[in-house]
Amino acid sequence: MWDQLREWLSVPDHQIAFLGIVIAFIVGLMVGRLTRRRTEKKVKATAERSDEAFFKGIQYILSNDHDQAIEEFTKSVQLNSETIETYVALGNLYRSKGEIDRAIRIRQSIILRPNISKEIKIRALVDLGLDYRKGGFLNRALKVFLDVLTKQPTNVRTLEEVEKIYEEMKDWENAFDIRQRLSRLIKGEHRHILAHHQTELGKAYYDKGEISKAKSCYEKAISIDEKCVDAYLHLGDLHFDNQNYKKAIAVWKKVVLVKPRFTFLAYRRLEGAYSKMENLQPVEDFLKECAELNSDAFTRLALARHLHNKQEDDDALKELEGALELDPFFWEARKLVGEILLSKDRKTDVRAAYQDLISHLNVSYLKFQCAFCGYEPDGLQWQCLQCKKWDTMDFVSFEMGHSTSPHHLPNPLYAKTEKEIEEKV
């Protein structure tokens, strides 16, 4: 082979041709290398511009300028379409602005990519479920989250989202099952949530006329959490409706033992039960006993109302005076004072009571507030409508921002942990 090459190169024309080939090869090699360098510089410059746009977007998020953040993230994606993090951030921004369709399309584009890792795909599925939920598509969100759980059964965040959806759908049986799974994964107190799920399930059965199932749920709730006030109240209601007044009274009285601060929820029920038995004296005895044990404004108001109904107005006014000493801003007690004084035509006392009332008009009436997120519902709710936490409601004064009976009301039912505060922030 080499002999043939030497023979071929011995011809002058062939030598010129060979030299041309060598020169062309060298030139091509140099041009190729130069082109690659230019391409690399261009890619590097594009990547740098993409990164710059991404970090600008982060800065705009921190300054709460979501419109500018979307503009920068969009620019970053246009420069580098392979950056998953940019797509995720852009989708989250669209969701926060309520542009659910755009957010969903971004998640779907990530999921459909052929070479993404399992972790990224699951993350995109979770985000897609959150998008559906934000858009009000609960069934779609639930389907996506359940799909995630088939791939990652211990995904705590997804389990929590599924529980919230079941609660919104009033599917208390499945909510109870999910909370049981969470209780095995997360350290902490879960009994009060499980008890509320059983109580709500009992209410659903009761509304459908399935009394025995409702009773079983209420009793199960109490066995799970002996301090579940709502379960006691509704179990007593069930006995009352079945005209089993003694059992109803026995159940309602247990509220005094488990959570004295909520005893006022049982007073009217007890009065109704004793009236059916045509013997109201036990109500008075019970209220007096509670007043001695608890010495709270609600108990004294209930006792005053009972005494007023018996036309023992002087004793009723004494109890109301005691209630107002404990809580000067207890407007319901002041209202009853006015009604009693007006019914007795005690004008001088009415004028004195009215003057005292004026001095407290800058403070609003009793309100409830969530100890976790600060939400204030119109009335007592066992589950906060905003943060969906259970047993977080406490008595507060709307303007003053503290308990209306600070000397005798205990701490909020549900205290925020440092971890939960960080998650909330």
**pLDDT value at position 213?**
97
Confidence (pLDDT) at 274: 75
Label residue 275 by pLDDT band (50, 70, 90). confident
pTM of the model: 0.65
Query: Is pLDDT of 224 > 80?
Result: yes
pLDDT confidence bin for 423, thresholds 50/70/90 = very low
Does position 267 have pLDDT exceeding 80, yes or no? no
Query: Three-state SS across the chain?
Result: CHHHHHHHHCCHHHHHHHHHHHHHHHHHHHHHHHHHHHHHHHHHHHHHHHHHHHHHHHHHHHCCCHHHHHHHHHHHHHHCCCCHHHHHHHHHHHHHCCCHHHHHHHHHHHHCCCCCCHHHHHHHHHHHHHHHHHCCCHHHHHHHHHHHHHHCCCCHHHHHHHHHHHHHCCCHHHHHHHHHHHHHHCCCCCHHHHHHHHHHHHHHHHHCCCHHHHHHHHHHHHHHCCCCHHHHHHHHHHHHHCCCHHHHHHHHHHHHHHCHHHCHHHHHHHHHHHHHCCCCHHHHHHHHHHHHHHCCHHHHHHHHHHHHHCCCHHHHHHHHHHHHHHCCCCHHHHHHHHHHHHHCCCHHHHHHHHHHHHCCCCCCCEEEEECCCCCCCCCCCCECCCCCCECCEEEEECCCCCCCCCCCCCCCCCCCCHHHHHHHC
For the stretch 343-394, pLDDT in tens is 777 766 666 666 666 555 554 455 788 988 889 888 888 999 988 899 988 8
Range in 32-41, 185-194, 249-258, 291-300 the model is least confident about: 32-41
For 116-134, write each residue's pLDDT tens digit. 788 888 988 999 999 999 9
Domain locations along the chain: 280-361, 364-425
Name the CATH architecture for the domain at 280-361.
Alpha Horseshoe (1.25)
Q: Is the pLDDT of residue 77 over 50?
A: no
pLDDT of residue 14: 60
pLDDT the model gives residue 422: 35
Mean per-residue pLDDT, 51-75:
56
- Contact by Cβ (8 Å): 134, 95: yes
In whole angstroms, give the CA distance from residue 329 to residue 294: 19
- Is residue 50 over pLDDT 70? no
The whole-number average pLDDT for the span 103-124 is 83
Mean local confidence (pLDDT), 41-46: 47
Quick check: 256 pLDDT over 50?
A: yes
- pLDDT band of 45, cuts 50, 70, 90: very low
With pLDDT > 70 as the criterion, what percentage of the chain qualifies? 65
Mean pLDDT confidence for 133-161: 95
pLDDT at 276: 78
Say if residue 417's pLDDT is above 60.
no
Q: What is the mean pLDDT of the chain?
A: 76
Residue 253: per-residue pLDDT = 86
Least confident of 76-90, 186-200, 376-390: 76-90
pLDDT of residue 407: 33
Mean pLDDT over residues 317-330, rounded? 80
Can you tell me which residue has the tokens 């052929």?
114
Whole-number pLDDT of residue 223: 97
Stretch 295-300: mean pLDDT: 74
Confidence at 416, pLDDT banded by 50, 70, 90: very low
